[in-house]
C-alpha cells in the first residue's frame, strides 16, 4: 500500500504536518536525511504564545513541560533610559512562551507523529521527484545503505528548510527575497539568573536572553550584518566586550555564570516562495523564511502545519480538489505571514529609529496595556498592522505625552 502523502524533512514543520495528517486518517511517509534524536544548533529555540497554543491544541504541551522546559511570561525590554516590562495578551489559550532545546522538541514531535501512525525513515536523502506529466507523484531517495529507492504518493510536501531540495526540484518561484540584514551570536550558560526574558535595545545591537532546558539560559547579541561578520571571527573576545559596552549589569551576570559549550552563530536571507503546485507543497522555512531577529520560525512552522494539514485533508477527502485546497493554504499563509515578514525584515536592519518610533516607545512607558500589546506582536496575539496603524501610534503618543505632562512637578 502506497502513501497518501510523503513529507520530506522531520523537524518542526515536517513532523507537525505529518502528525496532523495521520491523525486525520491519511497514510504518511516521513523522510529525513538525518538520524534522530539530534540537535539543531542553528536555532535559538523560542516558541511564542501562538506556537504554544498549537502544542496545547495538539495535546503535546504537558509533555513538553514535562521535559523541564520553563514557562516564560514576562518580557523585559531595556531601552537604555527606561525599561518596558509586561505580559503579552494570550494567543488562543496560551499565555506563555517556551524555548526548548531542539533535540527535545523535535524528538517529542517525531514521537507523536509515529504514535499517530506516521512511517518514519531516517537517513534518507531525497535526490529527485517522480513525475506524471507536469504533476509530482513521488520521490526518489538514497537510503542509509546507499540504495536508490522510489516511493509514490498523491502529494509530496517539502518541509526541508530554507535550502529545500523539494523547492529546488519543483523550481518554486521566489516572490520576494532580501539578503541577510543581521547576524546573531549566542551561547548557553548555567547559573545565569534572568527575569524570564530580557532584551536590551541599543543603537545597532539587540542583546537577548531567555531560559531553556537543563537549567540553562541562552544569551546572545544581534548585529547588523557587516558588524556580525567582524564579531563572529573571534566571539570569545568580541562577545564579552560587546556585552560590557551595551548591557554592563547583564554582562556582569554573564561573567559570573559558566558558559556551556562554544559560541554559536547564524544569519540567513529572507524569502517567500510559491508554496504549492501540482502534487507538491512547501511548509515552514522551505516556503517562507523570515529574518530570525524576531525568533518566530518555530511558531510560524506550527501555524502553517495546521493550515496545510487542514487544506490537504480537504483535498484528499474529496471536499474540494486538492489543487484548489492547496491554493487556499498559500493564501492563508501569506495573509498571516506577510505583515510580520516585513516587520522582521525592517527590525533586522538595526538602524536608528525615526523620530515617530522614538516618540512611540517613549510614550509606551506610560501605558501598560499598550506595552503588553507591543509584546503581543512577538507572541502573535496582536497583529503587527493593528499595533502600528497610524491612528493607534498617534493615540499612544498623544496619551503618553499627556501622561508625562501630568507627571511633571508643578513649580508654579
Section 286-301 average pLDDT:
96
**What pLDDT digit, counting tens, does each position of 271-285 carry?**
999 999 999 999 999
Enclosing H/E stretch for 131: strand 125-132
Q: Nearest CA to 281 among 123, 115, 154?
A: 154
Query: Which segments of the chain belong to CATH 3.50.50.60?
Result: 3-46+99-177+270-344
The arrangement of secondary structure in 182-266, i.e. its CATH architecture, is 2-Layer Sandwich (3.30)
- Identify the residue with better confidence: 36 or 357: 357
Distances (CA, A) of 160 to 79, 168, 266, 357: 37, 11, 18, 37
- Identify the residue with better confidence: 98 or 404: 98
Average pLDDT score over the chain: 96
Tell me which DSSP letter residue 294 carries: G
Q: Is the confidence at residue 1, as pLDDT, over 60?
A: no
**What pLDDT digit, counting tens, does each position of 120-161 carry?**
999 999 999 999 999 999 999 999 999 999 999 999 999 999
Q: So what's the pLDDT on residue 111?
A: 97
Which cell is 135 given? Answer: 504533476
Question: In this structure, how many other beta carbons lie within 10 angstroms of the beta carbon of residue 403?
Answer: 13
Residues 264, 41: contact at Cβ < 8 Å? yes
Q: So what's the pLDDT on residue 319?
A: 81
Burial class (CB in 10 A: 0-12, 13-18, 19+), 139: buried
**CA dist., res. 159 & res. 289, Å (int):** 12
Section 30-37 average pLDDT:
91
Signed CA dihedral, 225, 226, 231, 233: sign only: positive
Q: Is the confidence at residue 90, as pLDDT, over 80?
A: yes
Section 70-93 average pLDDT:
97
What is the DSSP track for 155-218? Answer: EEEE-S-TT-HHHHHTTPPEEEEE---EEEEEEEEES---SSEEEEEETTEEEEEEEETTTEEE
Q: Residue 180: what are its φ and ψ, rounded to 5°? A: -60, 125
Q: So what's the pLDDT on residue 408?
A: 64
Query: Which segments of the chain belong to CATH 3.30.9.100?
Result: 182-266
**CA dist., res. 305 & res. 19, Å (int):** 9
Query: Prior bond to 196 cis, omega within 30?
Result: no
Fold designation for 3-46+99-177+270-344: FAD/NAD(P)-binding domain (3.50.50)
* pTM exceeds 0.85: yes
**What pLDDT digit, counting tens, does each position of 353-380 carry?**
999 999 999 999 999 999 999 999 999 9
What is the DSSP track for 58-119? Answer: TT-HHHHHTTTPPPB-EEEEE-SS-EEEEEPPPBTTB--BB---HHHHHHHHHHHHHHTT-E
Signed CA dihedral, 110, 129, 178, 243: sign only: positive
Over pLDDT 70: what percentage of the chain?
Answer: 98
Q: So what's the pLDDT on residue 349?
A: 96
**What pLDDT digit, counting tens, does each position of 37-81 carry?**
777 777 889 999 999 999 999 999 999 999 999 999 999 999 999
Q: Is the confidence at residue 412, as pLDDT, over 70?
A: no
- What SS3 class is residue 16? helix
**What pLDDT digit, counting tens, does each position of 242-275 carry?**
999 999 999 999 999 999 999 999 999 999 999 9
Q: Residue 295: what are its φ and ψ, rounded to 5°? A: 55, 45
Section 313-324 average pLDDT:
92
Amino acid at each position: 500500500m502506497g502513501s497518501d502523502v510523503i513529507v520530506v524533512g522531520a523537524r518542526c514543520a515536517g513532523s507537525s504536518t505529518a502528525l496532523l495528517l495521520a491523525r486525520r486518517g491519511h497514510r504518511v511517509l516521513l523522510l529525513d536525511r538525518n538520524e534522530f534524536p539530534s540537535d539543531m544548533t542553528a536555532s535559538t529555540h523560542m516558541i511564542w504564545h501562538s506556537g504554544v497554543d498549537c502544542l496545547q491544541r495538539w495535546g503535546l504541551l504537558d509533555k513538553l513541560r514535562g521535559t523541564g522546559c520553563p514557562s516564560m511570561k514576562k518580557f523585559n525590554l531595556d531601552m537604555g533610559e527606561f525599561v518596558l516590562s509586561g505580559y503579552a495578551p494570550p494567543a488562543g489559550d496560551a499565555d506563555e512562551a517556551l524555548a526548548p532545546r531542539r533535540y527535545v522538541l523535535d524528538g517529542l514531535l517525531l514521537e507523536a507523529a509515529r504514535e499517530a501512525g506516521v512511517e518514519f525513515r531516517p537517513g534518507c536523502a531525497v535526490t529527485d521527484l517522480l513525475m506524471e506529466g507536469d504533476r509530482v507523484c513521488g520521490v526518489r531517495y538514497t537510503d542509509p545503505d546507499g540504495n536508490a529507492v522510489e516511493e509514490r504518493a498523491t502529494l509530496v510536501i517539502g518541509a526541508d528548510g530554507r535550502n529545500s531540495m523539494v523547492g529546488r526540484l519543483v523550481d518554486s518561484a521566489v516572490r520576494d527575497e532580501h539578503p541577510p540584514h543581521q547576524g546573531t551570536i549566542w551561547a548557553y550558560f548555567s547559573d545565569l539568573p534572568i527575569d524570564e526574558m530580557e532584551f536590551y535595545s541599543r543603537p545597532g545591537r539587540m542583546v537577548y536572553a531567555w531560559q531553556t532546558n537543563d537549567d540553562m539560559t541562552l544569551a546572545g547579541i544581534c548585529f547588523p550584518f557587516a558588524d556580525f561578520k567582524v564579531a563572529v571571527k573571534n566571539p570569545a573576545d568580541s562577545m564579552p566586550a560587546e556585552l560590557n559596552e551595551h548591557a554592563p549589569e547583564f554582562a556582569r551576570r554573564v561573567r559570573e555564570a559558566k558558559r556551556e559549550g562554544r559560541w554559536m552563530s547564524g544569519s540567513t536571507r529572507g524569502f517567500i516562495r510559491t508554496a504549492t503546485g501540482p502534487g507538491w507543497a512547501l511548509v515552514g522555512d522551505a516556503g517562507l523564511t523570515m529574518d530570525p531577529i524576531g525568533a518566530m520560525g518555530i511558531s510560524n512552522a506550527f501555524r502553517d502545519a495546521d493550515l496545510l494539514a487542514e487544506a490537504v485533508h480537504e483535498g484528499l477527502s474529496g471536499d474540494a480538489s486538492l489543487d484548489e485546497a492547496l491554493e487556499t493554504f498559500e493564501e492563508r499563509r501569506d495573509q498571516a505571514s506577510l505583515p510580520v515578514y516585513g516587520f522582521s525584515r525592517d527590525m533586522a536592519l538595526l538602524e536608528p529609529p525615526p523620530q515617530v518610533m522614538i516618540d512611540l516607545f517613549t510614550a509606551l512607558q506610560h501605558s501598560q496595556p499598550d506595552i503588553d500589546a507591543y509584546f503581543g506582536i512577538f507572541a502573535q496575539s496582536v497583529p503587527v498592522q493593528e499595533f502600528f496603524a497610524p491612528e493607534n501610534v498617534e493615540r499612544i503618543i498623544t496619551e503618553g505625552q499627556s501622561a508625562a505632562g501630568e507627571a511633571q512637578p508643578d513649580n508654579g
